[in-house]
Homo-oligomer: A and B are copies of this chain.
């Protein structure tokens, strides 16, 4: 089984009220060092067997057509998840 990560973030010019709320909460909890927070989406797509270039191409297409709204979001990452690093802190 292989995994592909797709990362989607709000476009820079789009106001991110959720992010603003998070910054306020972090400041109240004493984390004053963060000046801005933006919240987006992270998908893991599972495929049968190892990840192929066809899988990556399909993931890129799915990312731009189905997993993001091109009007307000950017796809900022589409890559194979290295199993050793899978779901562990980097």
Contacts and interface: CB of A to CB of B under 8 A. Distances in A.
A66 B26 contact: yes
A55 B59 CA distance: 33
A54 B38 contact: no
Q: How large is the interface on A (under 10, 10 to 19, 20 to 34, 35 or more residues)?
A: 35 or more
A79 B87 contact: no
A37 B7 CA distance: 13
Contacts of A41: 39-42
A15 interface: no
A39 B42 contact: yes
Interface of A: 1, 7-9, 19, 22, 25-26, 29, 31, 33-48, 54-55, 58-62, 65-67, 74-79, 87-90
